[in-house]
A and B are shown apart, each in its own frame.
Chain A
């Protein structure tokens, strides 16, 4: 599993496309079998307390795309704070398990663990 992080709209899905993944291979549902999961933060938002149960199913994916959500003012609402914390903790745990971690900054993929994956043949 390769973890792909980056700000909202930073180009994470474009990065997946650049590797050769097609739209039908990308899904934002944890139940789907697609090789690419995007929008992980929204799955966490729906059930922030249950984030640890996501680790095993996510590790079976080829790419997991998640927004970085921790770099703003501490939110006023408890719900938002818990969501932010859970997303961050989950990404730390996933990064440990991932073969590689790629951070997309303004459309540029930067490998912060392991190496940038090659495009699929």
Chain B
């Protein structure tokens, strides 16, 4: 009995040596910082700007569905750094023509600036910086999934290399701020596109996954056109489909109050 238990640390050590060796044995494996930096650019910073029509389908455990439709415009201030987002809602009817605007600050301890425009009241409201791990418009996606999580918030470790993917383990530097203990990201070795994310809770149990289920090349940029988040605890899932994706369309200075009250043409169709 005692022998068996003694074997476990040994196995772990061997496993570590093997996995490190397999990593080292590959001639073209960049260091983990390069991998996560490239993956971050791939997922959130392609081109100087971008536009997509997004359709979200939220499905509860019992099978009830809700839909969200919005047009999202993004413009980078700096690659891998600050960005601006403009989200124009089309459905459901009660949030139609509402606009959500974010000036994202990429610094680890910098809060984003956020605005909401409520058309019925013609009201431009400033929203307090929020917990980025809260649900985005009632879906299983959280704010951070939509606009990215600062790389500086986690430590990164390349834990596995397969012929197709790098598996990177990300551990939060400040565990009190998040609901997970760590998450693994499977990154496509060719494109550096994050293909699957797995979140583990404080007990080390897998409770949430995000998968890129469809990737297409658009304007020369590999683009996730469908992704699904599954919450294993609640049994809910949300599918997000991106249509009419465009890059480098020359989005101007639309991230201002003027365009909250009167959205620019590119935001509305």
Q: Do A and B bind each other?
A: no
Seen from chain A, the residues whose Cβ lies within 8 Å of a Cβ on chain B are: none
Seen from chain B, the residues whose Cβ lies within 8 Å of a Cβ on chain A are: none
